[in-house]
Amino acid sequence: MSTPFLSFGGVIAGYGGGDVLKGVNFSVESGGVTSIVGPNGCGKSTLLKTVSGLLKPRLGSITFKGESLVGKTPKAILQMGIVQVPQNHSLFREMTVRQNVELGAFLIKDKAVVAARYEKVCELFPVVSERAADRAGALSGGQQRLVEFARCLMLEPELVLLDEPSMGLDPKTLRAMFATIKTMNAEGRTVLLVEQNARQALKMSHKGVVLENGVVRLSGSGIDVLNNPEIAALYLGGSITHK
Amino acid sequence: MSFLLEAKGISRAFGGVQALNDCSLHVEKGSIAGLIGPNGSGKTTLFNVITGYVRPDQGLVNFAGEDVTNARPDEIFSKGVGRTFQLTRIFGRMSVLENMLVATQRDESWLKGLTRSMSSASEVDAAMDMLEFVGIAKLAKLQAGSLSYGQRKLLELAYVLIANPEVILLDEPAGGVNLTLINEIASKIRLLNKEQKKTFLIVEHNMEFVMNLCDSVTVVNQGHTLMSGTPVEVRADKRVLDAYLGGGEEEEN
């Protein structure tokens, strides 16, 4: 068997006294979009944090192309090509939009490379060039979200971790966002995302993982998860058949 | 025509950015009103103006026939205007239940609030009932800071409801909440509206939620009111499609 791209083996993790993840097992194939869905508080965001190194699992293994991520610093994990866009707004409010986006490339010393990537990112996210000189804090919540996305692409990561990318986006921007995820994926980036907007996320996903109470309840193709009547009733707001 | 809540000709700039430009909105007593618009159109700023967090450069805010344009947030809150925030504001080091008990203190003086050591059994019961209502009663003893984002949103909803305001402003109540729970929140809002005659003003991007729930919808674009109408009228309006919904085609779902 070939080495899985990203693999979780019996991952147990939490904060303070309690475990949020209680033994998570699944793997992510290279080149796909994988969506993690589940109720509020089931451990979705926690799982992403264990990958990006923001939270160290108490037990279990996480490997990226065969190499263990457990115990590595967030910076080391970033250097391996894994970038996370967090759920909470994370821009530096007093810095300009452009400065924020350029910070995403802080590992790259070559200014010409940074400038070229900035241009590319501006094409994908017009809001970045339109508001480049404005304080990030002056942007609306939804616009800040887009800038965070732009920032994450500056390192041209192999694996992108997105924690609720659709949150706070208006319908038009939301569609553009999902299209951007597809574009990112088509460019060869593997995407692992957590989404409450589960219907739309699963529809565009190669794989869906349902997390419940800190364990994987179900995994399969995005469509299979979407069409599972029990999952639909519990987390997707009722059953609708998708093809 | 009497409106419970009315904002007239509100303008406000931040630095060089004109966040609101002659923006108006009114909410009828006992109705559920929606406020929609593209990212950056000024919805949250309008909420901030209505609730006293931001002073308008121009314009008037009326609540229950009274001019509250320059009132402080706490004054507006104690008159009966409650709100939630897009990014939740809770006391992270206190338990979920303790957060709720803080919110029950609206009707007492600050001195009493500071000096009493215990909340009464009836306050605790009421707080637990409200947590039950939003579906997070089993988390009552946890530190609020350990809740997930979606759970915090539910706590904040409970937190606002227990203060029993007459009109409730919700900033993206469905954001970050799972789809089944969104339906439950919608039915709870409907219940509060029907049985307790609560008035709601809701900012939300989830169109299904807005269109099914709201009696009227106001659309803002670039800080200015584009139109107000019933959900059906708003949905059919070409300007709204162009500015906000995009494309013109229905979302296939």
Q: Which residues of A touch B181 (CB under 8 A)?
A: 39-40
**What mean pLDDT do residues B220-242 have?**
93
Question: For the residues A141-166, what does the mean pLDDT come to?
Answer: 90
Contact A210, A187 (CB under 8 A): no
Task: Answer whether A45 sits within 8 Å of B149, measured CB to CB.
Answer: yes
Strand partners, B218: B35, B228
The predicted pLDDT at position B248 comes to 46
pTM for the predicted model, two decimal places: 0.80
pLDDT digits (tens, 9 = 90+) for A165-215: 888 888 888 888 888 899 889 989 999 999 988 888 999 999 999 999 999
pLDDT band, residue B251 (cuts 50/70/90) = very low
Residue A222 has pLDDT above 90, yes or no: yes
- What mean pLDDT is predicted for residues A43-54? 94
Contact residues, chain A to chain B, C-beta under 8 Å = 15-16, 18, 37-42, 44-45, 87-89, 134-135, 138-143, 145-146, 164, 167-175, 196-199, 233-238, 240
Indicate yes or no: CB of B178 within 8 angstroms of CB of A15: no
Q: Which residue, among B147, B148, B210, B242, would best test binding to A if mutated, counting the most A CBs under 10 Å from its CB?
A: B148
Provide, as residue numbers in chain B, all residues whose Cβ is less than 8 Å from the Cβ of A198.
178-179
Count other C-beta atoms under 10 Å from residue A107's C-beta.
10
In a domain, B252, yes or no: no
Structure tokens at B189: 């809002």
Torsion of CA A183, A193, A106, A132, to 10 degrees: 60
Q: CA nearest B153: which of B169, B132, B130, B176?
A: B176
Q: DSSP states of A201-232 as a string?
A: HHHT-SEEEEEETTEEEEEE-HHHHHH-HHHH
* Helix boundaries (H) for B104-137: 110-115, 121-134
Contact B183 A233 (CB under 8 A): no
* Contact list, A16 vs chain B (CB under 8 Å): 143, 146
When the pLDDT of each residue in chain B is averaged and rounded to a whole number, the result is 87
Structural contact between residues A188 and A30, judged by C-beta atoms closer than 8 angstroms: no
B1: pLDDT strictly greater than 60: no
| Token duo for residue A142 | 């939804």
| The residue type at A175 | R
User: Can you tell me the distance from the alpha carbon of B81 to that of B160, in angstroms, rounded to the nearest whole number?
Assistant: 9
Query: How high is the pLDDT of residue A128?
Result: 93
Residues of B with CB under 8 A from a CB of A: 14-15, 17, 36-41, 43-44, 86-87, 139, 143, 146-151, 154, 172, 175-183, 205, 207, 244-247, 251, 253
Rounded Cα distance, B97 and B139, in Å: 8
CATH code at position B229? 3.40.50.300
Cα–Cα–Cα angle for B27, B30, B36, rounded to 5 degrees: 40
Distance CA B219, CA A126 (A): 23
Among the ranges given (A147-156, B59-68, B120-129, B226-235), the one the predictor scored with the smallest mean pLDDT: B120-129
At residue B46, the 3 state secondary structure works out as helix
Rounded-to-integer distance, Cα B87 and Cα B74, Å: 19
Decide if B38 is inside a domain: yes
CB B45 within 8 A of CB B63: no
B139 to chain A: nearest residue by CA? A41
Q: Which one, of B6, B107, B16, B26, lies nearest residue B66 by Cα? A: B6
Asked, for residue B251, whether it belongs to a domain, the answer is no
Handedness of CA A188, A100, A118, B175 (dihedral sign): positive
The predicted-structure confidence for B143-160, as pLDDT tens digits, reads as follows 888 888 878 888 988 988
Q: What percent of chain A has pLDDT over 70?
A: 97
Quote the pLDDT of residue B111: 65
Nearest beta carbon to residue B175 from set A37, A134, A168 = A168
Per DSSP, the three-state class of B142 is: coil
Q: Are B174 and B183 in contact (CB under 8 A)?
A: no
- Confidence at residue B108, expressed as pLDDT on a 0 to 100 scale: 60
Determine, for residues A134 and B38 on separate chains, whether the beta-carbon distance falls below 8 Å: no
Please report the pLDDT score of residue B66 as a whole number. Answer: 94
Q: What's the average model confidence in pLDDT over B84-107? A: 79
**Identity at B153, one-letter amino acid code:** K
Q: Which residues pair with residue B217 across a beta bridge?
A: B34, B229
Q: What is the pLDDT of residues B30-47, one digit of tens each?
A: 999 999 998 889 999 999
Domain assignment of residue B124, given as a range: 3-245
- Average pLDDT on A92-117 reads 93
Structure token pair of residue A87: 């759920």
Say what percent of chain A tops pLDDT 90.
65
Q: What is the CA radius of gyration of chain B?
A: 18
User: Would B96 be classed as within a structural domain?
Assistant: yes
What pLDDT score was predicted for residue A239?
Answer: 60
Quickly state the pLDDT bin for B190 (edges 50, 70, 90).
very high
For residue B64, the 8-state DSSP code is T
Q: Is B64 inside any structural domain?
A: yes
Phi, psi (degrees; rounded to nearest 5) at A10 = 55, 40
Domains identified in chain A and CATH numbers: 1-67+191-243 (3.40.50.300)
Q: Rounded mean pLDDT of B111-122?
A: 67
Domain total of chain B:
1
Q: Which residues contact A201 (CB under 8 A, 6 or more apart)?
A: A35, A37, A166, A178, A193, A195, A222
Closest chain A residue to the Cα of B208, Cα to Cα: A171
Residue B253 belongs to some domain of the structure: no
Is the confidence at residue B89, as pLDDT, over 90? no
| Residue B159, domain member (yes or no) | yes
- Residue pair B134/B191 in contact by the 8 Å Cβ criterion: no
Q: How large is the ipTM?
A: 0.73
> For the residues A24-29, what does the mean pLDDT come to?
95
